[in-house]
Structure 1
Amino acid sequence: MTLRRRVRVAMVALTALFTIVQGTLAVLAMHEQEDDLVDDLVLAASRHLARGLERSGAEVLGEGRERVLLPEGYEAWWTAADGRTLPDELPPSMRALADGPHLDSAAGGEYHIMVAPAAGGRLFVRYNAARNEAKVRAFAAQVFALGVFFIAMAAWISRYVSGLLVAPLEKVARLLDHWAPASEPGAALPVDEERRVLDAFARVQVRWEQGLARESERFADMHHEIRTPLAALRTDLEMLEGALRRQAEGGAAAAPQAERLRRALAAVDAITGALEAERALHGGRAGAPQRVPLLDCVDDAWASLGELPEARGLSLRNEVDAQAHALVDRQALMAILRNLFRNAAEHAAPAQLRVGYADGRLSVADDGAGIAAEDRAFVFERYYRGRLADSPDSAEAPDAQRAAAPGAGDDYQRGLGLAIARRVAEANGWSLTVEAGQPRGTRFVIALHDAADTAAPPATMS
């Protein structure tokens, strides 16, 4: 059965149930009201006869001029204390009745009877309610006819309403069929709209899972292909650094080249660490924590930026105590610090960057122009740029600075750096927040929670 037909059946069934219940209650209420009304009429007639008996005696039921004429359908008998019965013999079915109202359903109809003491005897008044019952049956027939009419109307209207209700689902089914068609060309689609949508969703889910699997495979291939040349490059750089060190020991001036090599090695380590951190995030798991010296992490993250901070006029003041350690994933922490440092270089410079650590909280604060209060709530959103600028008038870096570090800020101008930092922090169970610096600038705080493992009194946070 199709979903459209099920909706129609449900609507008709509900309408029929409501109509039947309401009609039945109406007929029962009508029948009860009819019984109560007839009982009141019989009681009034019996009281009228009782007063006549008290006033004129038994003649009111006889043939004389004192006889009381009863309305159509009424009958009356009076029994004296000595057993006499007027005007004729009392029907056998009424002889044992006690005083009060009674109902007798005989073959000739439905009788309402009232028995009451009167004039030293007992008065029996009976009314044949056949005509009243006929009116109740006529009312029931009218209710039944109306019920059939309303049920038929519901069946007709349900065709239109079911179409309106099922139309969105049919549209979704058509879109899904177009997006993820059946694997077998020409295969018959299910008639039931619900089954059609469920089958289409199942096909979409399969394709989605296949796409995720292919993405994971491509990421693994890319990781493998990039990591191998990076390892070779690092080996060559280490050998070149050793040669320069030996050259410096021989008296040659090699300090600038050695510094550049150190930065190149830090950049290679940063790329390798970023790949490892991204692979862990892609797999939905955090890296294994280890006891990390935080001072070295800050210095290595800063060195991995190369000449960008110097070109932009950003300097570092590392106030982390040399004895401060934390049980963290080093690559994840390095990824957060690199993004925060680069964000400061892109938006806060020229400025000074101060890094401090206390009570499991690593702070990165600059003394730039700061971020507007209305923008701070959105800085961690991907691609958010708006008025996100940690420099006066949201100005871009001067042309000379961009020329000194060409292409350095292209990705970060798209608003990805802080979003990546927040994502890495949350994946490791940390929190990354932003607040206004004092007296100016911006302050980011990385709360490492239970990762603190300091061996010396912490330095004062800035």
Structure 2
Amino acid sequence: MDRPSGPSVRLKLTLSYAGFLMVAGALLLAVVWVFLLRYVPDVTTGPGPGPARFVPNRSDLQRAFVPKAAWAMAALLLFGLVGGWVLSGRMLAPLSRITRATRLAAEGSLAHRIELEGPRDEFRELADAFDRMLIRLEAHVAEQERFAANASHELRTPLAITQTLLEVARQDANRDPIELIDRLHFVNSRAIDLTEALLVLSRADRGSFAREPVDLSLMAEEATETLLPLAEGRGLTIETSGSPSPTLGSRALLLQLTTNLVHNAIVHNLPDAGTVWVTTGVGRTTAWIIVENDGVELSPDVVRTLAEPFRRGTERIRTDHTGVGLGLTIVQSITRAHDGALTLTPRAGGGLSVKVSLPLAPHLTGG
């Protein structure tokens, strides 16, 4: 945005320092003038008894005082301008470093840090806050770049498969069309699932949703009922327990969160005879849901990466129902959008425990 240029902050501070010094000097001279007037008569005292003597009157005082006061004010003005310019430059030096860092960030250089030295004052707090913002922004940009690269790869895969199937069908006129249609339908469904997951993830990251009272225990029941046929088809058992867990948020997004948690626990479970545990409850200031499952043993290093986009875990079971690799990523984004926390913990003996903690509904926290 083009705006008319004005005087710099340094010039404004310099004029302010000089003006304050001039006002203080004028007040001081005024006090001295009033003090002297108390002891100087209006007219010259004539000769009296004894030797003749001359006593200055106020006119004499004015002729002697005013020129020297003017010179003093001029000296104060010069001192105020020079001293104010130097002092303001020293005071604004940290701001110049912050401005330079801001310009570098605007040009795309997020690795630069201010690292302002000295005691903790307003400028130091501003610089530290800006450095923390740059750290988070750099991490966010790096995460988005990785996500974009992974998403492009994942979206390109079904398109490449579709192209290959169509080329094979064109070269082989005797190929069974029903088989081709079935395979194209499967590949297309995977592409649709991935696209819908990306849309949900984008909506959660934007935080563009209305907040309403939501009970996580009801979301858990609905998700469990929806996914029960999938669990039964895999020979799994789902156990639910807990108490009402009220929070504020988007019902659609929180249902998506709960569904992803339960679905993830089902498809990454033991081949048969596994169990999924879904528990809800409240703490002093949080409403939470915990979803646990049986499965292979997971190392802490693997668990730390499970919420990254398109990371399914190198040791986890892969099937046709493993999804598009965005289940826990969507859970994490929805949790962040609701000011909550996601905790992933490997279970002793195998499997994973996932806990989502969200702010408790205000009427239950005294808010």
| Common topology (TM > 0.5) | no
Q: Report the TM-score when normalising by structure 2.
A: 0.44
TM-score, normalised via structure 1 length = 0.37
Larger radius of gyration between Structure 1 and Structure 2: 1
